[in-house]
Amino acid sequence: MTDLSARVDALLAQCDPATTAPQEFLRARFDAGLARVDYPVGRGGLGLDPVLQETVDRALSAAGAPGNDPDNNVIGLGMAAPTLLAFGTPEQLDRWLRPLWTGEELWCQLFSEPGAGSDLAGLATSAVRDGDAPDADWVVNGQKVWTTLAHQARWALLVARTDPTVPKHRGLTYFVVDMQAPGIEIRPLRQITGETEFNEVFLTDVRVPDAYRIGAVGAGWAVTQGTLMNERVQYTSGPAPRGSGPIGCVVEAWRAHPEQRTAGLQTRLLELWVDAEVARLAAARLGQQIAAGQPGPEGSAAKLEYARLNQAISSLELDLLGDDGLRYADYTTRMPVMEPEETKEPGWRYLRSRANSIEGGTSEILRNIVAERVLGLPAEPRADKNTAWKDLPR
């Protein structure tokens, strides 16, 4: 701990946050191993216990150090970084990890398709080598949907079909795609909140260098599973003080509206407070697990509970607000401002929470994962397990 404190002091002495440009400070922080202390040495970390990160963050925040825009780069920090660390080559880590962590380059995720949402392995977007050379470029064609922040991202995580003659899980390969490449078209999709946070993305003859391939050809499903496990954990793994977040909002509504209190609402509030505290403590443990490079199916259970809990809390908040809960200030089509949910309106929180049981894996699919991989129950029968993807009905 003494050595870690000395590192923090040395960084602040070298780069005074009051006089150092934010990007310059964040780059120096990464180079000092203080970006994420659990990252490998030379990759923004020191190979230490992830619980020590909170100490670093607290000290730097107290000194006025800049943040790395985590609300806008949640996919980069929560999904791209751990995927690169687990499966990327040294050259790929050199290129992408530092500007990802500093927030200089935002990321999105090109996974879901109109015909392959819950059944992601059934996707149809194709990647074909342009020539016989082992390092030849790939040419990608297809459509992706529900792509959060595609309109802002520089890079994308992409899973595409490279062999349609084998069963669907075995014919996939994982890539990083430059979102500024020719052939990419982004169209915004309007959400129930009025915002256009996510998009549909069309890829027409998009060239991807083989150097941007993550993992072996045909091994994309294993890399994809690593990304998805990190995605589900990141919904719930952020450090949070007791009583913060959505449950804190509903407590404030309880205090502000004594005229709305009933015994039934009080019982609901107490039950949700207990559930939120259990979820917070479980999330803290999961955060340590993922920081140690061990995301697992437990993240699916945590994300499943997060969706249920968030929707129940937002519903109770509107009940406590009465008629005021129906107010919604701005329903115009607009780009969202990415900021913590507790800073938004109660009506926004209620509407946005409807997506929690869809995004990052639907609750129905997550129940299957928990049943099979956590509880050990028999898997559902699969008629397509040994059938070539090209022969599957669509």
Q: Is 225 helix (H, G, I), strand (E, B) or coil?
A: helix
Q: Is 140 helix (H, G, I), strand (E, B) or coil?
A: strand
Kindly give the residue spans of alpha helices, DSSP state H, lying in 292-340. 298-321
Distances (CA, A) of 84 to 50, 201, 226: 18, 23, 10
Annotated catalytic residue within 200, 231, 298, 305 = 231
Neighbour-count burial of 332, counting CB atoms closer than 10 A to its CB (0-12 exposed, 13-18 middle, 19+ buried): exposed
Whether the Cβ atoms of residue 102 and residue 26 lie closer than 8 Å to each other: yes
> β-strands 155-161, 107-110: how paired?
parallel
Going by C-alpha positions, the residue among 187, 168, 85 that lies closest to residue 120 is: 168
Q: Which residues, listed in sequence order, are joined to residue 202 by a DSSP beta bridge? A: 143, 185
CB atoms within 10 A of CB 198: 22
CA distance 310 to 390: 40
Whether the Cβ atoms of residue 132 and residue 112 lie closer than 8 Å to each other: no
Phi, psi of 19 (to 5 degrees): -125, -5
Q: Is 252 a catalytic residue?
A: no
Helix 2-14 and helix 22-31: axis angle, to 10°? 150
CA distance 278 to 338: 27
CA distance 191 to 165: 37
Catalytic residues: 231
